[in-house]
Structure 1
Amino acid sequence: MTINEIRTRIEALVDEGSGKTLKDAKSIKHIGIDPDKNMVIMIIAIAKTGGDEEKNLLRQIAKIVKVEMGFKGLKVQFEETKKLEGIGSNQKVKFIIVASGKGGVGKSTVACNLAYALARQNKKVGLIDADIYGSSVPRILEMEHEHPRANQEQKIIPFHAFGIELISTEFFAGEGKPVIWRGAMLNSMMNHFFFDVKWSKDLEYMIIDSPPGTGDIMLDLRNLAPTAEVLIVTTPHPSASDVATKAGLAYQQLKHNVVGVIENMSYYLNPANYNQEFIFGKGGGQLVAEKLGVELLTQIPINQPKHHLSLFEGDEETGKIYDELATIFTVRE
């Protein structure tokens, strides 16, 4: 049995509290399978939790999953629809997913610099560090480790750096500690980031630093931010560009709009003779763009910022490149 088969069966059920099918109400927030335990894990939003409506729906789901489909276990987390009012329900926010096929291509650095470039243009910007296993956003933004705080409504207060609101798994784990989670826990954390953080109501852009490759979070983002546009980051080297193409195709299959490709580490400008030296080869970004049928938006050189650890200011050549990249989105407002 596949997740799609489970979804097809479950989405026909009716939430008695709203009178709508789970499909019509877009109630199914997550479905996962734990193969080790032969268990199905779900997150479902319904009109009212804790009453007979929830109990009746749970019995119907259990009948389908355990009796008819043969799974040994079932775990369902019900959420009230009215409580799921977070950044994902803010129609004014433009979501931009920064993605890559593999790690080490500078995706997180691109995400942070794009967010910073938008902030320099006086835009209200949020940043979700969804690269849970390889979180580096706090380090890029030169932040000290501290644990999250909540307000009186028990909403998580986002952190702030360089005019950007942000949240990251790094703040929930011990300093320097690895995150070793299964898919269901990843989805739970993503839901917290979208629905349990007290994001400013006037946010205009939300940058999402997605984990490299394809996997659970890519599927979660399809549900959490269905209108998000995608930037694919690669280096010129074939080993990076090949898997970047696969990531881009996956986002297109999920009906996301892939805006274009960013070729990072394109060249090194030799200060001795001002020649461009192509350390990682040439043409990878253009190749990805052609295969995806999109534009190669920019080529970012290998460079060290003058003022910060990883962020470029507007008075630097690379900073100007990020300003131009940000303008691609702001001119479309």
Structure 2
Amino acid sequence: MNKQEALSLLETIKYPNLDKNIVELNLIETLEVEGKSLHVQLNLQNEEALISLVKTIKELFKNHFLDISVDKKIKKSKSLHYGSSLNPNNRAPYAKKVIAISSGKGGVGKSTLSANFAVGLAQHGYKVGLLDADVYGPNIPRLFGLESEKLIWNEKNKIEPHENFGIKIMSVGFTTPSHDTPLVWRSSVAISALVQFLEDVDWGELDYLVIDMPPGTGDVQLSMAEELPLYGAIIVTTPQTLSTDDVSRAIMMFKEVRVPILGLVENMSYFEAPDTGKIYEIFGKSKAKELCQNYKLKLLGKIPLDIEIRELSDIGKLPIAFAEEKNKKIYREICKQVIEEA
């Protein structure tokens, strides 16, 4: 069998779950035929597809060659360290504006705001992507009702983002075998995964890329400021002193890396009794105005501690789309202010 005959045989192999063969998808990087030896090198990164294709190729050629080797092209490692906050890289040239949503500590409702904010932008007719960068606590899949979804690779050998509510979504939560699988990653591995999500996902052209950041002021926050020209950040806090202490540090971090802060959102700001309408400050008196005055920030909104918001979020029905009008209006007003600022 010569090289052309081997190529013709490879054309009969379909890429898993696609109706196209591996030759027309340009996945054959190298094809070498020497006597009874065959070497095929594939240009793809999907490990599951690679395992399947290696098995298929060896089975197909076993009666034609004594020695069959199939491997993949080694992808050149991505550079992660040559950007700086003063002169950041642009890992997302497909997005007109990149907005980071961050907090000083976990559990303040940052992911819930990220999800509703992204959908709010889409409701204004913008093309929106949402990247879940909270690698150790990825909640975006559940908020969108996508907690059972896994990574999908398309015919361009790119990761296909999942879609819901009119936006494109990517999360490290799609990479785990089950929802309770922990990601025990060092920060360098987490950053590498996020860079891959920026560069290897088929986002298409976006007006906005919203990034749900992990809490705190660590490597991921710094790396995002170095690898993306961030349009700005939205900071989320609660009235609790423990939260405002931490959010102050987050504010100063963004100021130090020269990322504009678009505004502050105070979540769980108050509880309104459904029977009497009386306001209770469960987490203490609101400190939003004080924070904004101290750090010269804009107060984008105060979101109540509301059972409807919690219940809808738990079942993948985002409040900005399914809640009563008073709760929808809060999220829409936050979006409106950011859009008008642009």
TM-score when normalising by structure 1 = 0.71
In 1, are the aligned partners of 2:147 and 2:173 still within 8 Å (CA)?
A: no
- In structure 2, how many angstroms separate the alpha carbons of the residues matched to 1:119 and 1:326? 10
Partner AA of 1:197 in structure 2: V
Deviations 1:184-243 (A, max 9, x none): 101111111110000021x11111000000111011111222233011100001110110
| SS of match in other structure, 1:98 | strand
* Segments of 4+ moved more than 4 angstroms: none
In 2, are the aligned partners of 1:86 and 1:195 still within 8 Å (CA)?
A: no
* Match of residue 184, structure 2, among 156, 180, 186: 180
- In structure 2, how many angstroms separate the alpha carbons of the residues matched to 1:138 and 1:304? 20
In 2, are the aligned partners of 1:187 and 1:217 still within 8 Å (CA)?
A: yes
- In structure 2, how many angstroms separate the alpha carbons of the residues matched to 1:316 and 1:246? 34
Which residue pairs with 1:58 in the alignment? none
Which residue pairs with 1:9 in the alignment? none
What is the CA-CA distance between 1:291 and the residue it aligns to? Answer: 2.8
- In structure 2, how many angstroms separate the alpha carbons of the residues matched to 1:226 and 1:121? 23
In 1, are the aligned partners of 2:91 and 2:195 still within 8 Å (CA)?
A: no
In 2, are the aligned partners of 1:241 and 1:287 still within 8 Å (CA)?
A: no
* Match of residue 232, structure 1, among 235, 238, 242: 235
* Match of residue 325, structure 1, among 314, 323, 334: 334
Partner AA of 1:249 in structure 2: M
What is the CA-CA distance between 1:142 and the residue it aligns to? Answer: 1.5
In 2, are the aligned partners of 1:102 and 1:212 still within 8 Å (CA)?
A: yes
- In structure 2, how many angstroms separate the alpha carbons of the residues matched to 1:219 and 1:113? 25
* Match of residue 249, structure 2, among 242, 246, 249: 246
| SS of match in other structure, 2:152 | coil
Which residue pairs with 1:168 in the alignment? 171
- In structure 2, how many angstroms separate the alpha carbons of the residues matched to 1:227 and 1:110? 18
- In structure 2, how many angstroms separate the alpha carbons of the residues matched to 1:223 and 1:99? 16
| SS of match in other structure, 1:89 | coil
* Match of residue 158, structure 2, among 155, 159, 177: 155
Partner AA of 1:279 in structure 2: I
Which residue pairs with 1:312 in the alignment? 319
What is the CA-CA distance between 1:78 and the residue it aligns to? Answer: 5.0
Which residue pairs with 2:215 in the alignment? 212
In 1, are the aligned partners of 2:231 and 2:260 still within 8 Å (CA)?
A: yes
- In structure 2, how many angstroms separate the alpha carbons of the residues matched to 1:124 and 1:87? 18
2:250 aligned with 1:223: no
Deviations 1:246-286 (A, max 9, x none): 01110110110011110000001111211111110113222
What is the CA-CA distance between 1:87 and the residue it aligns to? Answer: 6.0
Q: What runs of 5+ residues in structure 1 fail to find an aligned partner?
A: 1-75, 80-84
What is the CA-CA distance between 1:112 and the residue it aligns to? Answer: 0.5
Partner AA of 1:192 in structure 2: Q
Q: How does 1:193-208 map to 2 (within 5 A)?
A: 193-201=197-205, 203-208=206-211
| SS of match in other structure, 1:166 | strand
- In structure 2, how many angstroms separate the alpha carbons of the residues matched to 1:192 and 1:281? 41
Which residue pairs with 1:39 in the alignment? none
| SS of match in other structure, 2:107 | coil
Partner AA of 1:77 in structure 2: S
Kindly, what percent of the aligned residue pairs are identical?
Answer: 34
| SS of match in other structure, 1:206 | strand
| SS of match in other structure, 1:309 | helix
- In structure 1, how many angstroms separate the alpha carbons of the residues matched to 2:269 and 2:290? 13
- In structure 1, how many angstroms separate the alpha carbons of the residues matched to 2:78 and 2:202? 21
Bigger Cα displacement from structure 2, 301-310 vs 219-228: 301-310
What is the CA-CA distance between 1:166 and the residue it aligns to? Answer: 0.7
- Please say which structure displays the higher CA radius of gyration: 2
- In structure 2, how many angstroms separate the alpha carbons of the residues matched to 1:189 and 1:309? 26
What is the CA-CA distance between 1:304 and the residue it aligns to? Answer: 2.9
| SS of match in other structure, 1:131 | coil
- In structure 2, how many angstroms separate the alpha carbons of the residues matched to 1:309 and 1:108? 10
Which residue pairs with 1:145 in the alignment? 148
| SS of match in other structure, 1:308 | helix
CA RMSD of aligned residues (A): 2.1
Distance change in 2, residues 1:329/1:270 (3 Å): same
- In structure 2, how many angstroms separate the alpha carbons of the residues matched to 1:86 and 1:225? 5
In 2, are the aligned partners of 1:115 and 1:164 still within 8 Å (CA)?
A: yes
Which residue pairs with 2:42 in the alignment? none
